[in-house]
Structure 1
Amino acid sequence: MLMLMVISFATSVRTVAARPSVNNMENHFTAGNESEEVRLAAIKRLLEVFGMDDPPAIHEHKQPPQYMLDLYNTVADVNGVTKDPNLLEGNTVRSFFDKLHSEQVEYRFNLSTVARTEKILTAELHLFKLRPQTKLALNQHHFCQVSVHQLLDTSRINNTQEKKLLSSRLVSVHSTGWEVFTITQAVRSWTSDEGSNLGLYVTIRTLGGSQMDMNLIRFASGRNHHQSKQPMLVVFTDDGRRSTALENTGESDFTTTPSLPYAPLSGSPSRSVRSVDYREEDGMSLPCQRLPLYVDFEEIGWSGWIVSPRGYNAYHCKGSCPFPLGQNMKPTNHATVQSIINALKLIKGIETPCCVPEKLFSINLLFFDDEENVVLKQYNDMVAGSCGCH
């Protein structure tokens, strides 16, 4: 509930952008009693919810890799809400572009943004295979052996071995498109010892073991080809965050996520039509229900680095939990007993149960980090899926 209150507070403000400009600094609260100090504290707390100390730099003109866009659309609906928690391995996916930009088959990736505390689950090297430049020997070779090696520091291991085989498989000579190689072992060693990251080396050989003609088998490089075809490393990790909602609810809870607010759980239609707010003048209110609470990342000033979604509906719970509590209000046993004690006035000062989120869903954010890497991250307990009296 505290997190939702912070979001509600933050969304009511037209705040500074990720890297504040002069114009953005002129923004302020319309309410006279809200201070700049409180606003900054609210934004800082919201960043902490998303696991950040500061907002990343703005990369408005950068295009995310199509693979990351497709992955986001696979795991999230149009509002960013997780379709199924089992679709994504871990809770974080990062894409890295090659830093060497070499014309040769050698690649290096900067993994400094991956924390040592994160568990490396899977790492994949994505290479785009181009069409052959020559038809020479096409009829002689239909497949080739592509192998990915980890480059080693021979002075540290004290032997003559210069590279370590990570992945190897047959690739069609005639094909074009993405080829994916699993290199998890190398990435785990690089994240535990940054100095061991000397890069990767790819060899291409005929089935007989001889060197392949480089005009026949070519992979796109970062130097000569469009960003959409550049060599890319994709790393799946888990940062150790757990969701109580995930642990306490069944898989079926995530199969559908309503896009509209729940109807009131009880109460007369006439009262529902008149107002969705408390009627303080007569002490009456609507029963516990779920109401919209839209978080607009553009209003917060984060649209420059967040790719998707542009915002999401967190929803919030509001309403009364009057005696007697019916099962449609999803009360806990404790709430039922508390409502009885309150109704009978057996103990002075006992309030009615509170209307709170009964089920929570996760959302997915696709964004650029400070190194221009595109990150897909799943955040637990961000959307009130239903409300109940607790």
Structure 2
Amino acid sequence: MEASVLFISLLSLFLLADCTELTFQETMLLRALGLNRRPQPASPRPVPHSLWAIFEKGINADNPCRMESFQVPGNIVRSYSDQGPFISNEESHDSLCVRKHLFFDLSVIEEKEEVTFGQLEIKFKHNTYHGHGFQLRIYRPLHMTLKAMRNHHTNRKLLFAHSFRLLHKSLHFNLTKVTQDWTNLENNMGLILEISADGEDTDIQKFSSCHQMPSFIHTSLLTVSLDPTNCKASRTKRNAEPSPPTPSNICSKRRLYIDFKDVGWQNWVIAPRGYMANYCHGECPYPLTEMLKGTNHAVLQTLVHSIEPETTPLPCCAPTKLSPISMLYYDNNDNVVLRHYEDMVVDECGCK
């Protein structure tokens, strides 16, 4: 049984199971979603606008393994908060406003995933210093120790140098190659961010510009990755025409709405709150009609069943066409994740 069909089946059972069975079934469900346990976000952070925009735009059912917003292959988008500390400026020049160690925990990226895009966002929450000029530099440390972080001349590589003014705009930097290297956790020593007041400003302006800047900085990392195990080489378009009516005991698609609140997932699943998963149910009687979309094997099996019903069972009613959905949720590290899952909605059923 395919992973997504298994997910639908497990979730259906989960809704009906008693308390003694929930732990095992929920574990199976979470594994189908790529999680090792139920996320329990203590203080959920806001969902980045970029992830909301992708979710609201909807998934391309013909190619759910491509993130059109970034023009790269992928079916998983994650947003990570910065966990690095500010670094004292004892040995730095007077014009230096901020020195900060940026660190993002990428341990949630699985070995089977291929990182296709990485982007650093630096956001200033207010424009109190509107018009003041700054110089920004981002370094990649080649050796990371507390002493090295504090040393202005530490062994490091300059990645970006950028002049800017605080105008209520975020600054974005492409970190795809660095992020790909960071998937080997031993290589992830983070970055060093330095922001200095522009040399053209007076000493008074520099002081006022620098004084509260650390409290206004918010940094985050966004990655796009591709899980090839949840992709198909090609897809056929969904048929928008409604299926013809069938007798109640004949194999057909049945409605099943899954509400995440019913399984206690409303605290970590951000969107959707639920979805129409559907399922297949019914008999595959002899002779199989075209309406039942039977495989050649199923046709022969029903023929043999009509001759030897005690030794050969009838074919099974199973999905013949499925479509994907997107889920927006918090993972076990409190990262915000947008993930496309193929074959989550049963569109058509047939005999196999």
Which range, TM-score by smaller chain?
A: 0.7 to 0.9
CA offsets per residue over residues 31-71 of structure 1, 9 Å max, x none?
xxxxx432322122112211222111144764322222222
2:83 to 93, 96, 99: 99
- Out of 283, 299, 304, the residue aligned to residue 262 of structure 2 is 299
Q: Is residue 180 of structure 1 aligned with residue 180 of structure 2? A: no
Which residue of 162, 165, 181 corresponds with 2:155? Answer: 162
In structure 1, the residue matched to 2:48 is 65
- Per the alignment, residue 64 of structure 2 pairs with 85
Task: Read off the aligned partner of 2:129 and give its amino acid letter.
Answer: Q
Report the residue type matching 1:337 in the other structure: L
Structure 1 equivalent of residue 346 of structure 2 = 384
CA contact (8 A) 1:72 1:376 kept: yes
Using a 3 Å threshold, how does the CA distance of structure 1 residues 147 and 71 change in structure 2: closer, same or farther? farther
- Which among 149, 152, 155 is matched to residue 142 of structure 2? 152
Residue of structure 2 in register with 1:249 after alignment: 235
- 1:4 is matched with 8
Within 5 A, what are the aligned runs for 1:1-390?
Answer: 1-13=5-17, 29=18, 36-59=19-42, 62-76=45-59, 84-88=63-67, 89-100=73-84, 102=86, 104=98, 106-115=100-109, 117=111, 118-128=113-123, 131=127, 133=129, 135=131, 147-153=137-143, 162-167=155-160, 173=165, 175-194=167-186, 196-202=188-194, 224-225=215-216, 230-243=218-231, 246-247=232-233, 249-250=235-236, 252-253=237-238, 263=243, 265=244, 267=246, 276=248, 285=249, 287-343=250-306, 345=307, 349-390=311-352
Mark the runs of 5 or more structure 1 residues left unpaired by the alignment. Answer: 14-28, 30-35, 138-143, 277-284
Please state whether the residue corresponding to 1:231 is helix, strand or coil.
Answer: strand
> CA deviation digits over 1:276-325, x for unaligned, max 9?
4xxxxxxxx2x221111222211111111111111222110112223333
Q: Cα distance 1:161–1:136, how it changes in 2: closer, same or farther (>3 A)?
A: closer
Higher strand share: 2
Same amino acid, percent of matched pairs:
23
User: What do residues 254-276 of structure 1 show as CA deviations (whole Å, max 9, x unaligned)?
Assistant: xx779xxx54x454xxx5xxxx4
Cα separation, 1, equivalents of 2:105 and 2:64: 26
**What is the DSSP-based 3-state SS (H/G/I as helix, E as strand, rest coil) of the residue aligned with 2:343?**
strand
What amino acid does structure 2 have at the position aligned with 1:125? L
Shift of 1:84: 4.5
The number of residues matched between the two structures is 321
Pick closer, same or farther for the CA change 1:189–1:136 going to 2, 3 Å.
closer
Distance 1:297 1:324 in 2: 40
Preserved contact between residue 355 and residue 389 of structure 1 (Cα < 8 Å)? yes
Distance 1:134 1:215 in 2: 14
TM-score (norm 2): 0.75
Query: 2:129 & 2:43 partners in 1: Cα distance?
Result: 35
Whole-angstrom distance in 2 between the partners of 1:153 and 1:337:
68
Shift in Å, 1:248: 5.3
CA spacing shift, 1:266–1:135, aligned 2, 3 Å: closer
Taking structure 1 as the reference length, the TM-score comes to: 0.69
**Residue 211 of structure 1: how far off its partner (Å):** 8.0
**Alignment partner of 1:381: what SS?**
strand
Q: Deviations over 1:353-372 (max 9, x none)?
A: 22100022232221112332
Asked if 2 retains the 8 angstrom alpha-carbon contact of 1:128 and 1:231, the reply is yes
C-alpha contact 1:109 1:233 (8 A) present in aligned 2 = no
Task: Give 1:110's aligned amino acid.
Answer: F
Q: 2:257 is matched by which residue type in structure 1?
A: Y
2:65, 2:226 within 8 Å by CA — same for their partners in 1? no
Unaligned runs of 5+ in 2: 68-72, 87-96
Question: Does the 8 Å contact 1:127/1:178 carry over to 2?
Answer: yes
One-letter amino acid of the structure 2 residue matched with residue 179 of structure 1: L
